[in-house]
Structure 1
Protein backbone atom coordinates (compact mmCIF):
# COMPACT_ATOMS: atom_id res chain seq x y z
CA UNK A 1 0.00 0.00 0.00
CA UNK A 2 1.30 3.46 -0.90
CA UNK A 3 1.97 5.67 2.16
CA UNK A 4 -0.02 8.87 2.35
CA UNK A 5 2.21 11.97 1.88
CA UNK A 6 3.16 13.42 5.26
CA UNK A 7 1.67 16.79 6.27
CA UNK A 8 4.00 19.73 6.86
CA UNK A 9 4.41 19.19 10.59
CA UNK A 10 6.71 17.33 12.90
CA UNK A 11 3.92 15.96 15.07
CA UNK A 12 3.37 12.19 14.93
CA UNK A 13 0.29 10.40 16.24
CA UNK A 14 1.28 6.79 16.73
CA UNK A 15 -1.53 4.24 16.98
CA UNK A 16 -1.21 0.71 18.22
CA UNK A 17 -3.45 -1.47 16.05
CA UNK A 18 -4.54 -4.72 17.70
CA UNK A 19 -6.97 -4.01 20.52
CA UNK A 20 -6.74 -0.26 19.95
CA UNK A 21 -8.19 0.33 16.49
CA UNK A 22 -9.40 -3.19 15.66
CA UNK A 23 -11.17 -5.66 17.99
CA UNK A 24 -8.58 -8.44 17.86
CA UNK A 25 -7.31 -8.92 21.41
CA UNK A 26 -9.51 -11.89 22.19
CA UNK A 27 -9.01 -13.42 18.74
CA UNK A 28 -5.28 -13.35 19.44
CA UNK A 29 -5.90 -14.87 22.87
CA UNK A 30 -7.93 -17.70 21.35
CA UNK A 31 -5.53 -18.44 18.50
CA UNK A 32 -2.47 -18.40 20.78
CA UNK A 33 -4.33 -20.79 23.10
CA UNK A 34 -5.06 -23.10 20.17
CA UNK A 35 -1.48 -22.90 18.86
CA UNK A 36 -0.08 -23.73 22.28
CA UNK A 37 -2.43 -26.72 22.61
CA UNK A 38 -1.25 -27.99 19.23
CA UNK A 39 2.21 -28.19 20.76
CA UNK A 40 1.16 -29.83 24.00
CA UNK A 41 0.79 -26.76 26.21
CA UNK A 42 -2.48 -26.13 28.02
CA UNK A 43 -2.35 -22.56 29.29
CA UNK A 44 -5.21 -20.64 30.95
CA UNK A 45 -6.56 -18.04 28.54
CA UNK A 46 -6.35 -15.35 31.21
CA UNK A 47 -2.56 -15.77 31.28
CA UNK A 48 -2.40 -15.43 27.50
CA UNK A 49 -4.67 -12.39 27.52
CA UNK A 50 -2.42 -10.63 30.02
CA UNK A 51 0.50 -11.05 27.59
CA UNK A 52 -1.27 -9.91 24.42
CA UNK A 53 0.48 -6.84 23.07
CA UNK A 54 3.95 -8.28 23.55
CA UNK A 55 5.84 -9.76 20.64
CA UNK A 56 5.70 -13.54 20.28
CA UNK A 57 9.06 -14.09 21.98
CA UNK A 58 8.09 -12.15 25.09
CA UNK A 59 4.58 -13.56 25.07
CA UNK A 60 5.92 -17.11 25.14
CA UNK A 61 8.27 -16.14 27.96
CA UNK A 62 5.27 -14.82 29.88
CA UNK A 63 2.97 -17.79 29.36
CA UNK A 64 5.45 -20.68 29.36
CA UNK A 65 8.41 -19.29 31.29
CA UNK A 66 11.90 -18.38 30.16
CA UNK A 67 13.04 -21.99 30.70
CA UNK A 68 10.65 -23.33 28.03
CA UNK A 69 11.88 -25.28 25.01
CA UNK A 70 12.83 -22.27 22.89
CA UNK A 71 13.25 -24.45 19.82
CA UNK A 72 9.43 -24.67 19.72
CA UNK A 73 8.95 -20.91 19.49
CA UNK A 74 8.99 -20.59 15.72
CA UNK A 75 6.55 -23.46 15.24
CA UNK A 76 4.15 -22.17 17.90
CA UNK A 77 4.27 -18.64 16.51
CA UNK A 78 3.74 -20.02 13.01
CA UNK A 79 0.70 -21.98 14.16
CA UNK A 80 -0.72 -18.86 15.77
CA UNK A 81 -0.20 -16.90 12.55
CA UNK A 82 -1.94 -19.58 10.49
CA UNK A 83 -4.89 -19.81 12.89
CA UNK A 84 -5.24 -16.05 13.17
CA UNK A 85 -5.17 -15.63 9.38
CA UNK A 86 -8.44 -17.56 9.14
CA UNK A 87 -10.10 -14.53 10.79
CA UNK A 88 -8.73 -11.88 8.42
CA UNK A 89 -12.00 -11.45 6.52
CA UNK A 90 -13.98 -10.86 9.72
CA UNK A 91 -11.67 -8.47 11.58
CA UNK A 92 -13.77 -5.61 12.92
CA UNK A 93 -12.56 -2.06 13.60
CA UNK A 94 -13.88 -0.44 16.75
CA UNK A 95 -16.64 2.08 16.21
CA UNK A 96 -15.10 5.44 15.47
CA UNK A 97 -11.58 4.09 14.79
CA UNK A 98 -11.28 5.31 11.19
CA UNK A 99 -12.99 8.58 12.09
CA UNK A 100 -10.48 9.07 14.92
CA UNK A 101 -7.57 8.68 12.51
CA UNK A 102 -9.12 11.14 10.06
CA UNK A 103 -9.93 13.71 12.74
CA UNK A 104 -6.40 13.43 14.12
CA UNK A 105 -4.89 13.84 10.66
CA UNK A 106 -7.14 16.83 10.01
CA UNK A 107 -5.53 18.56 12.99
CA UNK A 108 -2.15 18.24 11.28
CA UNK A 109 -0.69 15.07 12.80
CA UNK A 110 1.19 12.47 10.82
CA UNK A 111 -0.56 9.13 11.37
CA UNK A 112 1.64 6.07 11.93
CA UNK A 113 0.36 2.59 12.76
CA UNK A 114 2.74 1.13 15.33
CA UNK A 115 2.50 -2.66 15.18
CA UNK A 116 4.94 -5.54 15.57
CA UNK A 117 2.59 -7.94 13.75
CA UNK A 118 3.60 -9.61 10.50
CA UNK A 119 3.37 -7.68 7.25
CA UNK A 120 0.41 -9.88 6.28
CA UNK A 121 -1.46 -9.13 9.52
CA UNK A 122 -0.83 -5.39 9.22
CA UNK A 123 -2.07 -5.44 5.62
CA UNK A 124 -5.21 -7.35 6.62
CA UNK A 125 -5.99 -4.91 9.42
CA UNK A 126 -5.42 -1.89 7.20
CA UNK A 127 -7.77 -3.33 4.61
CA UNK A 128 -10.51 -3.76 7.22
CA UNK A 129 -9.84 -0.39 8.81
CA UNK A 130 -10.29 1.47 5.54
CA UNK A 131 -8.36 4.60 6.47
CA UNK A 132 -5.32 4.43 4.21
CA UNK A 133 -6.14 7.88 2.89
CA UNK A 134 -4.78 9.37 6.14
CA UNK A 135 -2.18 6.79 7.19
CA UNK A 136 1.33 8.07 6.49
CA UNK A 137 3.28 4.98 7.49
CA UNK A 138 3.12 1.71 9.39
CA UNK A 139 5.58 -0.52 11.17
CA UNK A 140 5.59 -4.30 11.35
CA UNK A 141 7.61 -7.00 13.03
CA UNK A 142 10.32 -6.63 10.39
CA UNK A 143 11.16 -3.18 11.78
CA UNK A 144 12.20 -4.33 15.26
CA UNK A 145 14.22 -6.99 17.02
CA UNK A 146 13.04 -6.26 20.58
CA UNK A 147 9.27 -6.04 21.00
CA UNK A 148 7.07 -4.26 23.57
CA UNK A 149 7.51 -3.37 26.35
CA UNK A 150 10.94 -2.51 24.88
CA UNK A 151 10.84 0.95 23.23
CA UNK A 152 12.15 -0.21 19.85
CA UNK A 153 8.76 -0.29 18.12
CA UNK A 154 7.89 3.22 19.26
CA UNK A 155 11.27 4.46 18.07
CA UNK A 156 10.77 2.73 14.71
CA UNK A 157 7.40 4.47 14.35
CA UNK A 158 9.03 7.80 15.20
CA UNK A 159 11.65 7.16 12.52
CA UNK A 160 8.91 6.45 9.97
CA UNK A 161 7.34 9.81 10.82
CA UNK A 162 10.59 11.73 11.07
CA UNK A 163 9.51 12.92 14.53
CA UNK A 164 11.19 13.39 17.88
CA UNK A 165 9.69 11.80 21.02
CA UNK A 166 8.61 15.17 22.39
CA UNK A 167 6.60 15.75 19.20
CA UNK A 168 4.62 12.50 19.36
CA UNK A 169 1.77 10.78 21.17
CA UNK A 170 1.02 7.05 21.23
CA UNK A 171 -2.49 5.64 21.57
CA UNK A 172 -2.58 2.06 22.88
CA UNK A 173 -4.59 -0.40 24.91
CA UNK A 174 -2.10 -2.39 27.02
CA UNK A 175 0.37 -1.69 29.78
CA UNK A 176 3.01 -2.86 27.30
CA UNK A 177 2.08 0.03 24.98
CA UNK A 178 2.29 2.51 27.85
CA UNK A 179 5.62 1.14 29.09
CA UNK A 180 7.16 1.06 25.61
CA UNK A 181 6.05 4.64 24.98
CA UNK A 182 7.42 5.79 28.34
CA UNK A 183 10.80 4.20 27.66
CA UNK A 184 10.90 6.03 24.31
CA UNK A 185 9.96 9.34 25.95
CA UNK A 186 6.51 9.49 24.31
CA UNK A 187 3.27 10.13 26.24
CA UNK A 188 0.61 7.47 25.87
CA UNK A 189 -3.17 7.76 25.76
CA UNK A 190 -4.77 4.50 26.87
CA UNK A 191 -7.97 2.86 25.66
CA UNK A 192 -9.94 0.19 27.53
CA UNK A 193 -10.71 -1.78 24.37
CA UNK A 194 -8.13 -4.52 25.00
CA UNK A 195 -9.47 -5.56 28.39
CA UNK A 196 -6.86 -3.79 30.52
CA UNK A 197 -8.31 -1.74 33.36
CA UNK A 198 -8.19 2.02 33.69
CA UNK A 199 -6.16 1.72 36.90
CA UNK A 200 -3.59 -0.56 35.27
CA UNK A 201 -3.09 1.83 32.36
CA UNK A 202 -2.83 4.82 34.70
CA UNK A 203 -0.39 3.02 36.99
CA UNK A 204 1.76 2.17 33.96
CA UNK A 205 1.94 5.89 33.14
CA UNK A 206 -0.87 6.65 30.68
CA UNK A 207 -1.47 10.40 30.59
CA UNK A 208 -5.15 9.94 29.74
CA UNK A 209 -7.50 6.95 29.47
CA UNK A 210 -10.68 6.72 27.40
CA UNK A 211 -13.15 3.89 26.96
CA UNK A 212 -12.71 3.46 23.20
CA UNK A 213 -11.82 5.28 19.95
CA UNK A 214 -15.23 6.97 19.75
CA UNK A 215 -14.85 8.37 23.27
CA UNK A 216 -11.40 9.72 22.45
CA UNK A 217 -12.76 11.17 19.21
CA UNK A 218 -15.50 13.03 21.10
CA UNK A 219 -12.93 14.51 23.47
CA UNK A 220 -10.09 14.96 21.00
CA UNK A 221 -9.76 18.70 21.57
CA UNK A 222 -9.14 18.16 25.29
CA UNK A 223 -6.57 15.42 24.71
CA UNK A 224 -2.85 15.48 23.87
CA UNK A 225 -3.96 15.03 20.24
CA UNK A 226 -5.76 18.40 20.14
CA UNK A 227 -3.03 19.84 17.95
CA UNK A 228 0.53 18.88 16.98
CA UNK A 229 3.61 20.83 17.95
CA UNK A 230 4.79 23.40 15.44
Structure 2
Protein backbone atom coordinates (compact mmCIF):
# COMPACT_ATOMS: atom_id res chain seq x y z
CA UNK A 1 0.00 0.00 0.00
CA UNK A 2 1.59 3.25 -1.16
CA UNK A 3 1.24 6.39 0.95
CA UNK A 4 1.42 9.59 -1.10
CA UNK A 5 -0.13 12.03 1.40
CA UNK A 6 0.10 12.28 5.19
CA UNK A 7 -2.51 14.29 7.07
CA UNK A 8 -1.18 15.43 10.43
CA UNK A 9 -3.23 16.55 13.39
CA UNK A 10 -1.33 19.30 15.23
CA UNK A 11 -2.45 19.84 18.85
CA UNK A 12 -1.04 17.00 20.95
CA UNK A 13 0.44 15.34 17.86
CA UNK A 14 3.16 17.73 16.68
CA UNK A 15 2.93 20.41 19.40
CA UNK A 16 2.81 19.97 23.17
CA UNK A 17 -0.33 22.09 23.52
CA UNK A 18 -3.06 19.88 24.95
CA UNK A 19 -2.50 20.83 28.55
CA UNK A 20 -2.35 24.51 27.66
CA UNK A 21 -5.74 24.09 26.00
CA UNK A 22 -7.04 22.43 29.17
CA UNK A 23 -5.79 25.38 31.21
CA UNK A 24 -7.34 27.90 28.81
CA UNK A 25 -10.71 26.12 28.74
CA UNK A 26 -10.74 25.69 32.51
CA UNK A 27 -10.14 29.41 33.02
CA UNK A 28 -12.88 30.23 30.52
CA UNK A 29 -15.42 27.99 32.23
CA UNK A 30 -14.51 29.36 35.65
CA UNK A 31 -15.10 32.92 34.44
CA UNK A 32 -18.53 31.85 33.23
CA UNK A 33 -19.38 30.30 36.58
CA UNK A 34 -19.19 26.66 35.46
CA UNK A 35 -16.16 25.01 37.09
CA UNK A 36 -15.08 21.92 35.14
CA UNK A 37 -12.61 19.21 36.13
CA UNK A 38 -9.53 19.24 33.92
CA UNK A 39 -9.72 15.53 33.09
CA UNK A 40 -13.13 16.04 31.51
CA UNK A 41 -11.70 18.71 29.24
CA UNK A 42 -8.79 16.45 28.29
CA UNK A 43 -11.19 13.68 27.30
CA UNK A 44 -12.95 16.06 24.91
CA UNK A 45 -9.90 17.71 23.33
CA UNK A 46 -9.71 17.31 19.58
CA UNK A 47 -13.48 17.42 19.14
CA UNK A 48 -15.45 20.13 17.42
CA UNK A 49 -15.69 23.01 19.91
CA UNK A 50 -19.47 22.83 20.05
CA UNK A 51 -19.28 19.15 20.98
CA UNK A 52 -16.58 19.88 23.55
CA UNK A 53 -18.68 22.57 25.18
CA UNK A 54 -21.73 20.33 25.44
CA UNK A 55 -19.69 17.38 26.70
CA UNK A 56 -17.95 19.22 29.54
CA UNK A 57 -20.21 22.17 30.40
CA UNK A 58 -23.69 21.04 29.36
CA UNK A 59 -26.24 22.75 27.15
CA UNK A 60 -26.16 26.54 26.90
CA UNK A 61 -27.39 29.07 24.37
CA UNK A 62 -25.31 30.24 21.41
CA UNK A 63 -24.29 33.47 23.13
CA UNK A 64 -22.85 31.55 26.09
CA UNK A 65 -21.00 29.17 23.78
CA UNK A 66 -19.53 32.07 21.79
CA UNK A 67 -18.41 33.73 25.01
CA UNK A 68 -16.74 30.51 26.15
CA UNK A 69 -14.89 30.18 22.83
CA UNK A 70 -13.74 33.80 22.99
CA UNK A 71 -12.46 33.39 26.54
CA UNK A 72 -10.64 30.18 25.62
CA UNK A 73 -9.02 31.94 22.67
CA UNK A 74 -7.96 34.84 24.88
CA UNK A 75 -6.39 32.61 27.51
CA UNK A 76 -4.73 30.37 24.91
CA UNK A 77 -3.09 33.42 23.30
CA UNK A 78 -1.73 34.36 26.71
CA UNK A 79 -0.30 30.86 27.12
CA UNK A 80 1.10 30.67 23.58
CA UNK A 81 4.68 31.57 24.59
CA UNK A 82 4.78 28.18 26.32
CA UNK A 83 3.99 26.26 23.13
CA UNK A 84 6.75 23.91 21.99
CA UNK A 85 6.96 21.32 19.27
CA UNK A 86 7.54 17.74 20.33
CA UNK A 87 11.00 16.36 19.72
CA UNK A 88 11.33 15.33 16.09
CA UNK A 89 8.19 17.12 14.88
CA UNK A 90 9.87 19.45 12.39
CA UNK A 91 12.27 16.71 11.28
CA UNK A 92 9.34 14.36 10.72
CA UNK A 93 7.49 16.80 8.47
CA UNK A 94 10.63 17.50 6.46
CA UNK A 95 11.45 13.80 6.19
CA UNK A 96 7.96 13.03 4.85
CA UNK A 97 8.18 15.86 2.33
CA UNK A 98 11.71 14.82 1.40
CA UNK A 99 10.41 11.43 0.35
CA UNK A 100 8.07 13.05 -2.12
CA UNK A 101 5.02 12.56 0.08
CA UNK A 102 2.60 15.48 0.47
CA UNK A 103 2.20 16.92 3.97
CA UNK A 104 -1.09 18.50 5.04
CA UNK A 105 -1.91 19.80 8.51
CA UNK A 106 -5.51 18.90 9.41
CA UNK A 107 -6.61 20.27 12.77
CA UNK A 108 -9.79 21.00 14.71
CA UNK A 109 -8.14 24.20 15.95
CA UNK A 110 -9.26 27.59 14.69
CA UNK A 111 -7.14 29.31 12.05
CA UNK A 112 -5.58 31.83 14.45
CA UNK A 113 -4.54 29.00 16.78
CA UNK A 114 -3.12 27.05 13.85
CA UNK A 115 -0.92 30.04 13.03
CA UNK A 116 0.57 29.91 16.53
CA UNK A 117 1.04 26.15 16.33
CA UNK A 118 2.78 26.34 12.97
CA UNK A 119 5.14 28.96 14.37
CA UNK A 120 6.02 26.61 17.24
CA UNK A 121 6.86 23.80 14.78
CA UNK A 122 8.90 25.98 12.46
CA UNK A 123 8.66 23.72 9.41
CA UNK A 124 6.37 25.58 7.03
CA UNK A 125 8.81 24.84 4.23
CA UNK A 126 7.61 21.22 4.37
CA UNK A 127 3.89 22.03 4.62
CA UNK A 128 2.25 23.05 1.33
CA UNK A 129 -1.32 22.91 2.66
CA UNK A 130 -3.34 23.00 5.88
CA UNK A 131 -6.94 22.87 7.04
CA UNK A 132 -8.56 24.10 10.23
CA UNK A 133 -11.94 24.22 11.93
CA UNK A 134 -12.64 27.44 10.01
CA UNK A 135 -12.89 25.42 6.78
CA UNK A 136 -15.86 23.27 7.85
CA UNK A 137 -19.19 23.52 9.62
CA UNK A 138 -18.22 20.78 12.08
CA UNK A 139 -14.76 19.60 13.09
CA UNK A 140 -13.57 16.15 14.17
CA UNK A 141 -14.83 13.49 14.68
CA UNK A 142 -16.75 14.57 11.58
CA UNK A 143 -14.53 13.68 8.60
CA UNK A 144 -15.00 17.05 6.87
CA UNK A 145 -11.59 18.48 7.80
CA UNK A 146 -9.84 15.40 6.43
CA UNK A 147 -11.92 15.50 3.25
CA UNK A 148 -10.96 19.15 2.71
CA UNK A 149 -7.32 18.22 3.31
CA UNK A 150 -7.50 15.49 0.67
CA UNK A 151 -8.99 17.89 -1.85
CA UNK A 152 -6.26 20.47 -1.20
CA UNK A 153 -3.64 17.78 -1.71
CA UNK A 154 -5.49 16.40 -4.74
CA UNK A 155 -5.11 13.00 -3.10
CA UNK A 156 -7.31 9.88 -2.89
CA UNK A 157 -8.16 8.52 0.55
CA UNK A 158 -6.70 5.14 -0.41
CA UNK A 159 -3.22 6.68 -0.71
CA UNK A 160 -3.35 8.75 2.48
CA UNK A 161 -2.41 8.29 6.12
CA UNK A 162 -3.72 10.21 9.15
CA UNK A 163 -1.47 10.83 12.15
CA UNK A 164 -3.22 11.93 15.34
CA UNK A 165 -3.27 11.75 19.13
CA UNK A 166 -6.98 11.46 19.93
CA UNK A 167 -9.80 9.01 19.43
CA UNK A 168 -11.53 11.80 17.46
CA UNK A 169 -8.66 11.79 14.94
CA UNK A 170 -8.97 8.03 14.51
CA UNK A 171 -12.76 8.18 14.25
CA UNK A 172 -12.64 10.94 11.65
CA UNK A 173 -10.08 8.95 9.65
CA UNK A 174 -12.25 5.84 9.71
CA UNK A 175 -15.28 7.83 8.55
CA UNK A 176 -13.21 9.26 5.70
CA UNK A 177 -11.90 5.78 4.83
CA UNK A 178 -8.28 6.77 5.51
CA UNK A 179 -5.74 4.63 7.32
CA UNK A 180 -4.47 6.08 10.59
CA UNK A 181 -1.73 5.75 13.17
CA UNK A 182 -1.70 7.24 16.64
CA UNK A 183 0.79 8.94 18.93
CA UNK A 184 0.78 8.84 22.72
CA UNK A 185 2.16 12.34 23.30
CA UNK A 186 -1.32 13.84 23.53
CA UNK A 187 -2.11 11.83 26.65
CA UNK A 188 -4.50 9.20 25.26
CA UNK A 189 -3.70 5.52 25.81
CA UNK A 190 -2.67 3.10 23.09
CA UNK A 191 -5.65 0.78 23.60
CA UNK A 192 -8.13 3.63 23.11
CA UNK A 193 -6.39 4.74 19.94
CA UNK A 194 -6.29 1.26 18.44
CA UNK A 195 -9.90 0.60 19.45
CA UNK A 196 -10.83 3.79 17.58
CA UNK A 197 -9.06 2.60 14.44
CA UNK A 198 -5.32 3.32 14.70
CA UNK A 199 -3.35 0.63 12.89
CA UNK A 200 -0.27 1.28 14.98
CA UNK A 201 0.67 3.56 17.87
CA UNK A 202 3.95 5.40 18.46
CA UNK A 203 5.27 7.35 21.44
CA UNK A 204 5.55 10.59 19.46
CA UNK A 205 6.98 12.25 16.34
CA UNK A 206 10.54 11.10 16.99
CA UNK A 207 9.46 7.44 17.19
CA UNK A 208 7.33 7.86 14.09
CA UNK A 209 10.31 9.33 12.26
CA UNK A 210 12.37 6.23 13.06
CA UNK A 211 9.67 4.02 11.51
CA UNK A 212 8.95 6.29 8.56
CA UNK A 213 10.45 4.20 5.77
CA UNK A 214 8.47 1.15 6.89
CA UNK A 215 5.23 3.12 7.12
CA UNK A 216 5.56 4.81 3.73
Counterpart residue number, 2:36: 43
Counterpart residue number, 2:26: 33
- Answer whether contact 1:10 1:162 (CA < 8 A) is retained: no
For residue 100 of structure 1, the aligned residue among 92, 107, 126 is 92
Residue 64 of structure 1 deviates from its aligned partner by: 2.0
Give the paired residue count. Answer: 215
Query: Aligned pair 1:198/2:216, yes or no?
Result: no
Query: Aligned pair 1:62/2:39, yes or no?
Result: no
Cα RMSD, aligned residues only:
1.4
Distance 1:88 1:42 in 2: 23
Q: Deviations for 1:44-68, whole angstroms, at most 9, x for unmatched residues?
A: 1110100000121110111123x33
Distance 1:26 1:84 in 2: 10
Aligned runs of 1:70-85 on 2, under 5 Å? Answer: 70-85=62-77
Q: Structure 2: which 5+ residue stretches go unaligned?
A: none
- Answer whether contact 1:14 1:171 (CA < 8 A) is retained: yes
SS of alignment partner, residue 39 of structure 2: helix
Query: So what's the TM-score if we normalise by structure 2?
Result: 0.96
Aligned runs of 1:8-23 on 2, under 5 Å? Answer: 11-23=4-16
Q: Structure 1: which 5+ residue stretches go unaligned?
A: 1-8
Distance 2:63 2:125 in 1: 41
Aligned runs of 1:144-183 on 2, under 5 Å? Answer: 144-183=136-175
Counterpart residue number, 2:105: 113
Distance 2:132 2:192 in 1: 26
Distance 2:3 2:165 in 1: 24
Query: Aligned pair 1:185/2:177, yes or no?
Result: yes
Distance 2:85 2:38 in 1: 23
Query: So what's the TM-score if we normalise by structure 1?
Result: 0.90
Distance 2:63 2:82 in 1: 32
